[in-house]
Amino acid sequence: MPKHLRTALAAAAAAALTGGLLTLSTAPAAAAGSGLQGDFNGDGYRDLAVAAPAATVAGHKNAGAVTVLYGSADGVSAARHATFTQNTAGVPGAAETDDWFGLALSAGDFNSDGYADLAVGAPCEDVSGDTDGGTVQILWGSASGISRAATVPDPAPTKHDSFGNALAAGDFDGDKKADLAVGTTAATLRVLKGGFSTSGVPAAKSAVTLPILSGSDAGIFRLTAGQVNGDGRTDLVVDGFQDTPQGENYYNANYFLPGSSSGPSGSGMRKLPAGLITAIGDTDGDGYGDLVTGVHWDDTVPGSTKGGKVNVIYGSASGPTTRMDTITQETGAVPGNSERGDVFGYGVSLGDIDGDGRQDLAIGSGGEDIDGVTDTGAVTVLRGSASGIDTAHGVQYFHQDVPGVPGTSETSDFFGGEVFLSDVDGDGKADLTVGAGYENDGNGSVVSLPSDGTRIGTTGARSVSPSAVGVPTTGRPQFGAFLAG
């Protein structure tokens, strides 16, 4: 069973690759940026960033690569893409062994030009003699797509390692500019204020100290941005290690930081139930964002259960409430059974599939066994409703043996290791992209399943392999391990 890359950087790498991996987009230029979330070329379609953080570049294992698949009326495909490494012209630095470029991704318009930009973390890059100091780069959007990048200065070099281990973009202070929250192995959250210069310098910076552990295997693992309390400022969920009062090492803890005029508020911090990955969106149409957190571990840490589970915490004007629903593979009409190693909740994503104003939920269970095939993986899709996530009606279940889904269920594909709901074909309905990071012995792939207007369908479904976008397939690049847009 593969461990989550953000908690165990132990994936095998691909074979040697000479030179950079640049494939210029053929996307049509737009006169001005659309301002649409994830639209890197301003053509009015959301695009998709796909990480292959363990890709080998010019012989350097785990150097990492990131591919942008440009959206269109037909969705995303390999036909319109650009692939970037730190050996690509216009990208600062150089590809090196164990940089893990692409281990964290987040999209936002950081320079307010109407084009979405992409923040990319390389958390194990050595910086000025600081082993694994980490770096963050912004790949700038433009009318011709992403074509240049800048390194974001680390506001506290040598005070931590793995700068860029976690990233989240959002307007945390309500000034209509995208800010960037950055996690490290320290207990301090770094927040870089929007209005970035083209050289990567933020307008200002701040810090929030959290009650979590620091250290090489600790710090901040995951950041999730979204509107919860409806005040016009983006709120933030921070996931990290923490000790319990009894001193027992608690695997992780989540904290809610509401947005404020000065950014994520430490004074308003609130502890949430644990879980490694979170999505935020309004699932019941009440105008407040709900928090969906995957607790994918078996019953080995506090609050977990065999096979994994998902917690849905409902939002309000005062933030997260005490109302919480728990979903497992034993809940309602959810397919499957809770079995050890399923990792149900390893990936979660929210998006409005049918345009009813309520966010629907995709849940990845990359360790699901299908018809005796071990760890091939599956994805469950649940609908939002007036009462929240509906586990009884309209449930959908996808794996690679479902007719119309590209590929075949094979051992250790880990289909559903990453899931992402976003409207990549411009019809106003969220489409589903599934990452299978271990497809074909760790090469990876992404599968696109479009919405038909009412539900996720297979008509027009397609798969994108790493070889189709210039990422080598002779090793284990884990293409599709992380998605953003």
- Specify the pTM: 0.93
- Mean pLDDT over all residues of the chain? 91
pLDDT above 50 (res 14): no
Mention every residue, 6+ apart, whose C-beta is less than 8 A from residue 322.
none
Say what the pLDDT of residue 2 is. Answer: 43
Letter for the amino acid at 425?
D
Say what the pLDDT of residue 251 is. Answer: 64
Residue-wise pLDDT for 202-242, tens only, equals 999 999 999 998 888 789 999 999 999 999 999 999 999 77
Q: Are 39 and 32 in contact (CB under 8 A)?
A: no
Residue 48 is encoded by which pair of tokens?
């998709």
Residue-wise pLDDT for 385-396, tens only, equals 999 999 999 999
pLDDT above 50 (res 9): no
pLDDT above 60 (res 440): yes
User: What band does 139 get if pLDDT is binned at 50, 70 and 90?
Assistant: very high
Other Cβ atoms closer than 10 A to 10: 10
Say what the pLDDT of residue 298 is. Answer: 86
101-137 in b/e form (b: 16+ CB < 10 A) is bbbbbbbbbbbbbbbbbbbbbbbbbebeebebbbbbb
Say what the pLDDT of residue 247 is. Answer: 47
Q: Are 393 and 382 in contact (CB under 8 A)?
A: no
Say what the pLDDT of residue 6 is. Answer: 45
Say what the pLDDT of residue 1 is. Answer: 39
Residue 33 is encoded by which pair of tokens?
């940026």
Say what the pLDDT of residue 24 is. Answer: 32
Residue-wise pLDDT for 388-427, tens only, equals 999 999 999 999 999 999 999 999 999 999 999 999 999 9
Say what the pLDDT of residue 303 is. Answer: 79
Say what the pLDDT of residue 185 is. Answer: 94
Per-residue CA distances from 60 to 102, 348, 475 (Å): 15, 31, 12
- Identify the DSSP state of 61: T
Say what the pLDDT of residue 274 is. Answer: 86
Mean pLDDT of 158-182: 96
pLDDT above 60 (res 39): yes
Mean pLDDT of 444-458: 97
